[in-house]
Structure 1
Amino acid sequence: MVKYKNHYEAIPVLKHWLKTQPHLPIIEDSPLRSFIVFCDGDVEEAKILIDKHYTFRTNNPQIFGNRDVNSKAFEKLNEILDLILLPDLTPDNHLVTIFRIRSPDVTYYNYTEQVRFIIAVLDAHLRVFPMDKTPDGVYLILDLKEFTLQHLTRVDFSAARVLTKYMEDVISIKIPRSNIINCPTFISRIVTMARTFITEKTYKKFVIHETNNDELFDYIPRDILPIEINGTKGSIDDIKRENLKVFKENADYIFNSKYWFVDESKRPANSRKSQFENMQGNFRSLSVD
């Protein structure tokens, strides 16, 4: 087993391998680095993860397909949700992503569209990072101040299951921690109940802050956080405006299936489709931290 301490040296190796895998989509250098970082420099593990990742996307088009950045559905989501990626990385080279619902009104809330939107935004931003600044992972901050029981009743649990399996088994970037702030009591109970259907490793990644949001600063520096959560680095609206430019500029990349879906008719004989059966979520997780 060969591990590359210098992750950049592994990228040409993966690109050479991709030439022998005609069924896989076009994969640019930034996503390739994310795969190799996730696998701690292990190229063979990265190859397995790449195939599983894109096969999973292909088999779940309800989440990963039809990602028109300029659609009315995405525009409406951008109005009722805040999903921002902070401009500064943490001292340990992690990207910080903040998600919050702007209003308790559930009139236009659509969970499946929300999941599709979130992944599309992350895909766009991970593409544009300079290679020497590609993050080693993502810290999530979930602000649930406006999240209500009515929102919960609109959760599509089929889509939630796909998202859970994506994050547990085939995601290409590490998410070592999710901080939940302004957390309602009913969400705390749900997270506890979720231990029955998520892995213990995933469960331990959640840090809940029910009342004292300043505890967040024990995990993420105040000087890179926006003022809405008692940080000092600008406002969410200003950061979101810059994020939206990146999203729009990468509209074709997000929408075009040549970057995201496999073509099973081109899969080589030595890459058996059988090893990727049940890619809706029943395959075994990689043993990668």
Structure 2
Amino acid sequence: MNTYSHPFLRGLKQQPEGKEKDLTGIRDWLSTQPHLPSISDEYIYLFLHSNYYDMKATQDTIEYYFTLKTGTPDLFSGRNVGSSRMKVALDITHMVALPYKTSEGYNILVYRFSDTDYTKMNFADLVRMFCMFNDLRLSEDGLSEGYIVIFDMKGCSLGHLTRVSLPALRSFMLYIQDAHPARLKRINVVHTASFINQVMYIVKPFIKGALMSLLHLTSNGPASLIDIELLPSDYGGPLKSLEEFHKEQRELMETSYKDWLIDTETFKVEEKKRIKKPNRGIFASLTGGFKTLEID
């Protein structure tokens, strides 16, 4: 077992009650999947919780998660937050978890550019940092009831759009929809740019109906969608600025979580040990494009 109890750096503070049979069921299934890594009970509970304790959905998410991490090293390796590339990704963005939850108990995450010079943007690096930040949030938040995500397009230009990598976008969309062990409740895209139709034209082929139903676009700010009392001063709320939150959470990532994030790179599948390989699937990403992963 790894040094840390992934994905929780300081341990899962409160494990769910009455779910021991679910845990045993996944443990029994994992014993028949020698290609998958050994993971802690806490890790299993995260996958179970994100799938509302549906056994088959949990198995599928675990399979997708580790296979995708193995098959797309451009996005899931090189997770040293102190590297020059990751520093740039943090320098040009604000990646923030707001401190208060919604009335439904949902956590709120905000992403936007702090430096809108598109020549500084490396799309794959931003996706890698996005996934690293999400891992940190899963660790800090525990078994969250759900997440509301705010993507702020203010300052985005067509120059940013030209720097989007389609392979990285495919990987990212597959991860968010099929592999990310979190309950995604709503995606609010605010301050939408005039070229939002071009953005949707590129992204839409990779979006399934379930995710599309969570997507809300507005040319206004987030106060039109979120209780203003939960928002930072940037959006007219009473909380401190996104820059201040970003600095605090960046420091947490660069200190407490630095070694932990690097360590998470070791959680991969061993394809030589896979008993029955899927006929088609995530492996196609290495030769051009994703299809549907078939899992037994």
- TM range, smaller chain: 0.7 to 0.9
**2:185 counterpart of 1:176:** yes
> Residues of 1 paired with 2:130 and 2:69: CA distance?
14
The residue correspondences of 1:109-148 to structure 2 (distance < 5 A) are: 109-130=121-142, 134-148=143-157
Q: Which of 64, 69, 80 is 2:76 aligned to?
A: 64
2:238 counterpart residue number: 232
**Change in CA separation of 1:7 and 1:54 when aligned onto 2, cut-off 3 Å:** farther
SS state of the match for residue 136, structure 1?
coil
1:222 counterpart residue number: 228
**2:259 counterpart of 1:255:** no
2:251 counterpart residue number: 245
TM-score w.r.t. length of structure 1: 0.83
> Residues of 2 paired with 1:181 and 1:97: CA distance?
13
Identity %: 24
Gaps of 5+ in 2: 1-15
How far off is 1:20 after superposition?
5.2
How far off is 1:16 after superposition?
5.7
1:90 counterpart residue number: 102
Q: Which of 277, 286, 293 is 1:273 aligned to?
A: 277
Q: Which of 192, 209, 213 is 1:200 aligned to?
A: 209
Amino acid at match of 1:118: F
> Residues of 1 paired with 2:31 and 2:192: CA distance?
47
> Residues of 2 paired with 1:252 and 1:276: CA distance?
35
> Residues of 2 paired with 1:7 and 1:92: CA distance?
23
Name whichever of 111-120 and 177-186 sits farther off.
177-186
- Aligned-residue Cα RMSD (Å) equals 2.6
2:112 counterpart residue number: 100
How far off is 1:79 after superposition?
1.0
The alignment covers a number of residue pairs equal to: 273
**Change in CA separation of 1:242 and 1:18 when aligned onto 2, cut-off 3 Å:** farther
Contact 1:168 1:285 in 2 (8 A): no
> Residues of 2 paired with 1:186 and 1:137: CA distance?
30
**Change in CA separation of 1:30 and 1:242 when aligned onto 2, cut-off 3 Å:** farther
SS state of the match for residue 154, structure 2?
coil
> Residues of 1 paired with 2:36 and 2:77: CA distance?
16
Amino acid at match of 1:108: K
**2:52 counterpart of 1:46:** no
TM-score w.r.t. length of structure 2: 0.81
Name whichever of 97-106 and 30-39 sits farther off.
30-39
Amino acid at match of 2:187: S
Amino acid at match of 1:185: S
Q: Which has the higher contact order (CA 8 A, sep 6+)?
A: 1
> Residues of 2 paired with 1:255 and 1:285: CA distance?
30
